[in-house]
């Protein structure tokens, strides 16, 4: 299937926020890309500029059903990733993570493909250890409102490592911390898109709790670079590896930065904290630095400017 360094690569969730950026980068590197998406949260608009590319193919498909294609590598990104979207149909969210993992691992086993799982910092839940290293097992509520996503992703990791041990499948697992940038869904409920849209509309800026909970925000270009480095790392580099920006900001600081960049007159208002919302989240990226020679290079100010430009043009 390979022609020199050229590979045929499957990206599930490829029309989503992260997936569409990944498809672009893989095409720039001279690969064939099969983008698979059921368009629950992804949109054709995110990949419309790629449709005429001779090495790009778009397929509407739900990963909870088997897929029969011939490929060299699989990036498994399919799953709604924001609370608004994954809580809309929590049973389907769990099925996407678990059945999707089973189907993509089965495809990788048949085609002898290397496969990467896009896991999440949510596997750590509301952490007792700060920052979070990969050997921390997490503190997750198994029956809460976020469990469909948190436990679905945890189960997917279990499946990946069982296929690795049982079938010697070449797997890769990354745990993605808060990512932002152009092509985010404007109504996905994530904090960056929420604050930017509220500021641009002149609406009240909504913060939950006291706004002092912290997050670490990684710009999408940096994240895509890390994912590709992980896929291309030696087979002995399996993961899980944290991918994110270790710079930590309170949600209040993020709101202030957005208001400044948008020159908004919006006022900040406070609402009760949602259930199971983690108080702090910050990746320990020592393994990414050491094993992938990677660390993020885009500052929050620069990344927010590019993101605001995208949302302003919508």
Which are the catalytic amino acids? 149
**Interior CA angle at 193 toward 224 and 244, to 5°?**
35
CB atoms within 10 A of CB 117: 27
Q: How many Å is the Cα radius of gyration of the chain?
A: 19
DSSP secondary structure code for residue 188 in this structure: S
Q: What is the DSSP letter of 6?
A: B
What distance in Å separates the CA atoms of residue 78 and residue 64, rounded to the nearest whole number? 10
Rounded to whole angstroms, the Cα distance separating 52 from 177 reads 32
Helix residue spans in the chain (DSSP H): 17-28, 44-47, 83-86, 90-111, 147-167, 191-201, 220-232, 251-262, 286-292, 300-313
Element (H, E) at 209: none
- Smallest CA-to-CA distance from 304 within 256, 266, 267, 268 is with 256
């Amino acid at each position: 299937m390979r022609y020199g360094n050229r590979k045929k690569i499957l990206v599930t969730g490829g029309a989503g926020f992260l997936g569409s950026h990944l498809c672009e980068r893989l095409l720039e590197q001279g690969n064939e890309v099969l983008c698979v998406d059921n368009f629950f949260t992804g949109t054709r608009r995110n990949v419309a500029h790629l449709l005429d590319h001779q090495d790009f193919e778009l397929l509407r498909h739900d990963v909870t059903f088997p897929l029969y294609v011939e490929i060299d590598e699989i990036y498994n990104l399919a799953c709604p990733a924001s609370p608004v979207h994954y809580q809309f149909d929590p049973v389907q969210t769990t099925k996407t993570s678990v059945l999707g993992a089973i189907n993509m691992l089965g495809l990788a086993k048949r085609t002898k493909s290397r496969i990467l799982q896009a896991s999440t910092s949510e596997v750590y839940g509301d952490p007792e250890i700060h920052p979070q290293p990969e050997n921390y097992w997490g503190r997750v509520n198994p029956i809460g409102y976020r469990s469909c996503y948190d436990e679905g992703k945890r189960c997917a990791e279990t499946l990946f490592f069982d296929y690795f041990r049982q079938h010697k499948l070449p797997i890769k697992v990354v745990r993605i911390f808060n990512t932002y940038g152009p092509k985010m869904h404007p109504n996905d409920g994530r904090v960056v898109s929420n604050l930017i849209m509220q500021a641009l509309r002149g609406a009240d800026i909504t913060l939950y709790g006291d706004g002092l909970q912290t997050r670490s925000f990684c710009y999408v270009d940096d994240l895509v670079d890390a994912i590709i480095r992980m896929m291309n790392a030696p087979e002995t580099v399996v993961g899980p590896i944290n991918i994110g920006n270790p710079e930590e900001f309170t949600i209040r600081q993020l709101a202030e930065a957005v208001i400044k960049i948008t020159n908004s007159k919006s006022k900040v208002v406070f609402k009760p904290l949602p259930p199971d919302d983690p108080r702090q989240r910050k990746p320990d990226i020592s393994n990414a630095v050491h094993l992938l020679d990677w660390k993020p290079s885009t500052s929050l100010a620069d990344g927010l400017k590019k993101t605001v430009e995208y949302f302003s043009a919508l």
